[in-house]
């Protein structure tokens, strides 16, 4: 059983389109993090959300943490080819530093 369900698994869109990636769970997380990973490299942290209902923006990326801290979404506005990559959500429970990762969303933005 996957603790964090991430969808969609694959997404191919045209430059300029908007998209949303979802990360859902039946469990509560003390924090949730979004990472972006390029092939052959480690994940790079994009954002950490810790408060239910929290919304954070990073340029064209908007991250939201659900009110119950069980789910999160990543919305990208006007996607660009440079946004192409694997997006991973990861959650921490209680006071633990251990992260549970979703399966990832492979995003391809075509010029």
Partner 1 sequence: GAVVSQHPSRVICKSGTSVKIECRSLDFQATTMFWYRQFPKQSLMLMATSNEGSKATYEQGVEKDKFLINHASLTLSTLTVTSAHPEDSSFYICSAGGQLGPNSPLHFGNGTRLTVT
Residues lying near partner 1 in the complex (CB under 8 A) are found at 30-31, 33, 35, 40-45, 48, 50, 88, 90, 92, 94-104, 106
Q: How far is the CB of 40 from partner 1 (least distance, A)?
A: 7
- Minimum CB distance to partner 1 smaller for 6 or for 109: 6
Is the CB of residue 4 less than 8 Å from the CB of residue 100?
yes
Q: How far is the CB of 78 from partner 1 (least distance, A)?
A: 27
Q: How far is the CB of 92 from partner 1 (least distance, A)?
A: 7
Strand runs (DSSP E) across the chain, as ranges?
A: 5-7, 10-14, 19-24, 31-37, 44-49, 55-58, 61-65, 71-76, 85-92, 99-101, 105-110
């Amino acid at each position: 059983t996957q603790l964090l369900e991430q969808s969609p698994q694959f997404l191919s869109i045209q430059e300029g389109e908007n998209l949303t990636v979802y990360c859902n769970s039946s469990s509560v997380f003390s924090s949730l993090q979004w990472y972006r990973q390029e092939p052959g490299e480690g994940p790079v942290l994009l954002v950490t959300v810790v408060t239910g209902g929290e919304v954070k923006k990073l340029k064209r990326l908007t991250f939201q943490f659900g009110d119950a801290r069980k789910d999160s979404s990543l919305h990208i506005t006007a996607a660009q080819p440079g946004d192409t990559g694997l997006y991973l959500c990861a959650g921490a429970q209680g006071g633990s530093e251990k992260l549970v990762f979703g399966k990832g969303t492979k995003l391809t933005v075509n010029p």
